[in-house]
Amino acid sequence: MVSKTEETQLNSLENQVDNGGGGAWEYLCLVRKLKVRRSDKVFKYGLSILNDPKKRSALGPEEWTLYEQVAIAALDCQCLDVTKDCIKVLQKKFPESKRVGRLNGMLLEAKGSWAEAEKAYSSLLEDNSLDQVIHKRRVAMAKAQGNISEAIELLNKYLEIFMADHDAWRELADIYVSLQMYKQAAFCYEELILSQPTVPLYHLAYADVLYTLGGLENLQTAKKYYASTIDLTGGKNTRAPFGICLCTSAIAQVSKGRNREDKESPELQSLAATALEKDYKQRAADKLGLLTSALRSMKF
Amino acid sequence: MAEDLVLDTAIRDWVLIPLSVVMVLIGILRYFVSKLMLSSQVPDPKIVKEGQVIVRARNLRAAANFIPPKSFRSRRVYFSNEENGLLFVPKGQAQNPQAQMFSDPNMAMDMMKKNLSMIIPQTLTFAWVNFFFSGFVAAKIPFPLTQRFRSMLQNGIDLSSVDVSYVSSRSWYFLNLFGLRGLFSLILGEENATDDTQRMMQMSGFGFDPSKSLGAEKDGLDILQHEWALPKFEHRAEAMLKKLIR
**What confidence tens digit (pLDDT) does each residue in A246-294 have?**
888 888 888 775 655 555 556 777 888 888 888 888 888 888 888 888 8
CA nearest A165 in B: which residue? B52
CA–CA distance, A105 with A114 (Å, rounded to integer): 9
Region for B135 from its dihedrals, namely left if φ exceeds 0, alpha if ψ lies in -120 to 50, beta otherwise:
left
Q: Count CA within 13 A, CB hemisphere, residue A98.
A: 15
Distance from CA of B88 to the nearest CA of A (A): 16
In angstroms, rounded to a whole number, what is the distance separating the alpha carbons of residues B198 and B201? Answer: 5
B198–chain A Cβ distance below 8 A for any pair: no
Binary contact (A163, B53; C-beta < 8 A): yes
Least CB–CB distance from B231: residue in A193, A224, A230: A224
The pLDDT tens digits of the residues spanning B182-231 come to 887 777 765 555 555 555 555 444 344 556 777 777 778 778 877 777 77
Q: Which residue has the higher pLDDT, A106 or B221?
A: A106
Whether B87 has its CB under 8 Å from any CB of chain A: the answer is no
Do B56 and A163 lie within an 8 Å CB cutoff?
Answer: yes
Q: What is the mean pLDDT of chain A?
A: 84
Tell me which chain B residue has its CA closest to the CA of residue A271.
B241
- Confidence (pLDDT) at B103: 54
Chain B 213-242, residues with CB within 8 Å of chain A CB atoms: 230-231, 233-238, 240-242
Which one, of A217, A277, A268, lies nearest residue A246 by Cα? A268
Residue A97 dihedral angles phi and psi, to the nearest 5° = -100, 140
Q: In a mutagenesis test of the B interface, which of A163, A184, A267 is the best target, namely the one with the most B β-carbons within 10 Å?
A: A163
**Which residues of chain A have a CB within 8 Å of the CB of B57?**
none
Please tell me the distance from the alpha carbon of residue B12 to that of residue B245, in angstroms, as a whole number. Answer: 76
The end-to-end CA distance of chain B, in Å, is 82
Residues ≥6 apart with Cβ < 8 Å to B63: A193, A194, A195, A197
CB nearest to B241's CB, from A162, A194, A272 = A272
Alpha carbon A175 to its chain centroid, in Å, reads: 12
Alpha-helical (H) ranges within chain A are 4-18, 24-34, 39-51, 53-59, 62-76, 80-93, 98-111, 114-127, 132-144, 148-161, 166-178, 182-195, 200-213, 216-233, 239-254, 268-283, 288-298
CB burial of B155-171 (b: ≥16 within 10 Å; e: otherwise) equals: bbbeeeebbbbbbbbbb
pLDDT for A175:
92
DSSP character for A206?
Answer: H
CA distances to A58, A169, A193 from B67, in Å: 52, 16, 8
A228–B56 C-beta distance less than 8 A: no
Interface check for A130 against chain B (CB to CB < 8 A): the answer is: yes
SS3 (DSSP) at B73: helix
State how far the alpha carbon of B227 is from the alpha carbons of A165, B72, B231, in Å.
Answer: 26, 10, 10
Query: Is A215 at the interface with chain B, CB within 8 A?
Result: no
**DSSP β-bridge partners for residue B167:** B139
Q: Which residues of A touch B49 (CB under 8 A)?
A: 160-162
Percent of chain A with pLDDT over 90: 7
- Nearest CB to B245: which of A161, A231, A274? A274
Higher pLDDT, A31 or B11: A31
Dump pLDDT digits (tens) for A78-97: 888 888 888 888 888 888 88
* Degrees, nearest 5: CA angle A217-A220-A223: 150
CA atoms within 13 A on the CB side of A105: 24
Q: Does A148 touch chain B (CB under 8 A)?
A: no
Identity of the residue in B43, B49, B234 whose CB atom sits nearest the CB atom of A224 = B234
Which of these ranges, A22-31, A153-162, A230-239, B133-142, has the smallest mean pLDDT?
A: B133-142
Grouping H, G, I as helix, E, B as strand and the rest as coil, residue B155 is coil
Rounded Cα gap, residues B158 and B165, in angstroms: 15
The C-alpha atoms of residue A129 and residue B76 are separated, in whole angstroms, by: 29
Structure confidence at residue B75 (pLDDT): 82
Dmax of chain A from CA atoms?
79
Q: Taking each helix axis from N to C terminus, what angle separates B45-62 and B210-222, rounded to the nearest 10 degrees? A: 20
> Mean pLDDT across the stretch A20-39?
82
Instruction: Give me the interface pTM, i.e. the ipTM.
Output: 0.72
Closest CA of chain A from B69, distance in Å: 11
Name residues of chain B where pLDDT drops below 70.
1-3, 37-43, 82-111, 114, 156, 189-211, 246
Q: Does A239 touch chain B (CB under 8 A)?
A: no
The size of chain B, in residues, is 246
Q: Report whether pLDDT(A69) > 80.
A: yes
**Given CB atoms, is B56 within the 8 Å cutoff of chain A?**
yes
Q: CA B41, CA B50: separation in Å to the nearest integer?
A: 17
pLDDT at B210: 59
Taking the CB of residue A170, how many other CB atoms lie within 10 A of it?
A: 17
Cα B34 to chain centroid, rounded: 18
- The residues facing B166 across adjacent strands are B140
Distance of CA A135 to the CA centre of its chain: 18
Q: Looking at CA atoms only, how far is residue B128 from chain A in angstroms?
A: 39
Q: Which residues of B touch A225 (CB under 8 A)?
A: 230
Q: How far apart are CA A34 and CA A3, in angstroms?
A: 9
Q: Name the packing angle between helices A239-254 and A216-233 (round to 10°).
A: 160
Nearest residue of chain B to residue A126 (CA atoms): B42
Give the model's pLDDT for residue A53: 81
Closest CA of chain A from B16, distance in Å: 38
